[in-house]
Structure 1
């Protein structure tokens, strides 16, 4: 009997040894831009350091990503373990209890190295609810050769009048060279982001201090008419369908004289592997209209952990890896300092090697010039430069963006979308009881 017990015990032990330990799989939802695609390629570094964790990526176009992660986090569906979300969502979702606090990240992570303005925007009630993967403002990227050919010199801090003049002078439609590429694709994070930041510089605002929409004011009319006229004269065909990725492809292929968009794009347009004009690109601050505000935004794509996940501890390990100083060093070692995710850590801008990158200082200057607490020329009751940090904004601005895109496509006159935007926004704000 004793021998039989020993045999059974030995067999049981052998089975235990032979049975592999199943890895925990993290599902990560992210946007389909260059920095996130690069992170996916470097994931082997994370899994090598964390052998008990596997990673599955869900990579989506920006508008679709926002829709899906919003649904999942609100219902605590648990479909994703790590989400790529922005500066708009973090304070709203953090207050609702939809995100896991990151206050217990290891000391080696050095949370104090995150730039204060960025860390503050991701913190609610002293809880850090997301870790910034990269931070961006917006700036002018332009073709130095085409600017010179037009007989013009780009100022470091241009006006919108100069941008309009230069764009028209650089346009050669017969040879498919367009003076300027700007976002036209409908979406609160696409054309609305660009036009809201632009409107700030023209003296417009979404709401007055009583939360009444302001789209029928002269400043919004001037903004939208300037934009449509400029794109009709100097923009590419089909601009109403172009977002960040479409304009990036146009600029990289040499079809845009200027592109005003996210500072993070600088590494893509100056990378000779991808850009035909890599050695011809210059940079300048986003334009102004002489009213004291520039048309640039402030945004951080960050990694957050939804409260619905069952894998919070493994998710924290991934977030800490992807947003660490060591990750920046990893990217630099593989692809050079110019391709490091920008705008998140003070130590990056203190790095002598990174300081040599041609767009590093302009990126930092652009980030520092944005003021989310005072985004417009006149006072506003909200926080946010290219968005309004209230839960209702996403839905309102998605519909407003469709109106603006239709105006650019020429299906309606410029005045009609502004009247529609006023009506749409008033109705939504009354329903939410901001106004009577």
Structure 2
């Protein structure tokens, strides 16, 4: 163990000061000689700076706004941000980390990439830093988040900035006027029946919104959870493709029929944003999607604020079916400034950062979904009372190792945790979207998808991976 880590541990035993003061003190100790290097290095900018590559989501833009006046002012470390749209940032991070160029010290990765990058040795383990920084309080991070951001060796390789699961959102006033009651734990058939009953009860209002836009992270985010709970899977535990198997076909036919019969206008092009707008504008009565959407629905000025109910993701054969996703921070293995990088991560993922956002920007903008303490904070709960409990329950019930009814060869709920999945999922999604548009049948789409999945499965069986 390095001397900085010993000093940090002695400091944590001596008594806890206010979090930001501890962060600064621990950071100064870690930075003195370092667990993993200190100084200039490939990233440039001098010893007291780091380079961060991140997605341009609103929560990250807020972070960029607050960093200089708080983190830099308290630690003396300047942060150089490169902020890009999601598809662009994924490409750039992949190029940067696979080559270990060392230009960026920290990047935003999801729980899809982090276990894969850890396996490749592209990201640094964080356990030593976590142990030294007791004020960070890893135990406060929700268990499924820590699990999904860990590697095969059990070490943590990422810390969540915000997290989400999925649940069903519905117009309480519309269901009440129709004399309908939404179960707290609905089945998909119950949801379909309610969608049929409320379809058209108000002019221009469809029964439900479900993503139909092509993309492994678009239509197949919700659809794969439906496949799981219908008893289907992309692959068996020994990598036999199951895309044309009964469970996968039944789930997809159900999903396609539901959105075609009672779903939104323009469903083949509808993704998260389109469904969010549809529910806000009164164009749909229900929506199954990410828990992170609730903050927008309940924001000041939202025409549906106070009119939305939130219940668990619908099920068929499983006890739960919500997905699990996080935007998280990881340190590039090639970084020469790992200690300062941890200091940034420790601040950006802390409960005190959430409090800072709440106090300066408003509690609806807190990057939530990652810490148990968030859901005990009275200020946050005052803003998020309608959806806080369903959100944290959805995250806690998510099991990325066992999301369905059979063993899986790789972790993941709404995805398969292998490098090939983005290409596989996107290609199959294009045909599923075509089925939603009525240009082919579901069986035709999945027969083509089976061939693609068989190619992937065969490569894994040949490697003896399973």
TM-score, length of structure 1 as denominator length: 0.86
- Contact 2:100–2:334 (8 Å) recurs in 1: yes
Question: CA 1:209/1:110 → structure 2, altered by over 3 Å: closer, same or farther?
Answer: closer
- Report the more deviating stretch, 84-93 or 247-256: 247-256
Q: Distance in 1 between matches of 2:220 and 2:99?
A: 27
Deviations 1:229-282 (A, max 9, x none): 111122222222222223222222332211111112111211124x22112111
- Contact 1:136–1:343 (8 Å) recurs in 2: yes
- Counterparts of 1:331-410 in structure 2, within 5 Å, are 331-356=357-382, 357-410=385-438
Question: CA 1:155/1:281 → structure 2, altered by over 3 Å: closer, same or farther?
Answer: same
Partner of 1:101: 125
SS at match of 2:327: strand
1:297 CA drift (Å): 0.8
Partner of 2:170: 142
Pick the aligned partner of 2:354 from 304, 315, 328: 328
Question: CA 1:43/1:404 → structure 2, altered by over 3 Å: closer, same or farther?
Answer: farther
CA RMSD of aligned residues (A): 2.5
- Contact 1:293–1:377 (8 Å) recurs in 2: no
Partner of 1:3: none
Q: Distance in 2 between matches of 1:95 and 1:373?
A: 17
Partner of 2:83: 58
Deviations 1:146-195 (A, max 9, x none): 22233211111111112112223333398432221122222222222211
- Contact 2:54–2:81 (8 Å) recurs in 1: no
Partner of 1:118: 145
SS at match of 1:278: coil
Unaligned runs of 5+ in 1: 1-20
Question: CA 1:301/1:250 → structure 2, altered by over 3 Å: closer, same or farther?
Answer: same
Question: CA 1:23/1:378 → structure 2, altered by over 3 Å: closer, same or farther?
Answer: closer
Unaligned runs of 5+ in 2: 1-44
- Contact 2:295–2:364 (8 Å) recurs in 1: yes
Tell me if 1:319 matches 2:345: yes
1:222 CA drift (Å): 1.3
Partner of 1:16: none
Q: Distance in 2 between matches of 1:256 and 1:30?
A: 33
Q: Distance in 2 between matches of 1:126 and 1:202?
A: 30
Tell me if 1:287 matches 2:314: yes
Q: Distance in 1 between matches of 2:202 and 2:140?
A: 50
Partner of 2:218: 190
Partner of 2:92: 68
Partner of 1:46: 71
Q: Distance in 1 between matches of 2:285 and 2:423?
A: 34
- Contact 1:28–1:55 (8 Å) recurs in 2: yes
Q: Distance in 2 between matches of 1:293 and 1:251?
A: 27
Larger radius of gyration: 1
Pick the aligned partner of 2:287 from 255, 259, 277: 259
Tell me if 1:207 matches 2:235: yes
SS at match of 1:29: strand
Partner of 1:28: 52
Tell me if 1:37 matches 2:61: yes
- Contact 1:132–1:323 (8 Å) recurs in 2: yes
Question: CA 1:366/1:130 → structure 2, altered by over 3 Å: closer, same or farther?
Answer: same
1:333 CA drift (Å): 1.2
1:287 CA drift (Å): 0.5
Q: Distance in 2 between matches of 1:54 and 1:299?
A: 26
SS at match of 1:127: coil
1:355 CA drift (Å): 4.5
Q: Distance in 1 between matches of 2:92 and 2:211?
A: 22
Q: Distance in 2 between matches of 1:83 and 1:405?
A: 32
Partner of 2:271: 243
- Report the more deviating stretch, 230-239 or 211-220: 230-239
SS at match of 2:306: helix
- Contact 2:50–2:77 (8 Å) recurs in 1: no
- Report the more deviating stretch, 243-252 or 27-36: 27-36
Q: Distance in 2 between matches of 1:121 and 1:164?
A: 31
SS at match of 2:94: helix
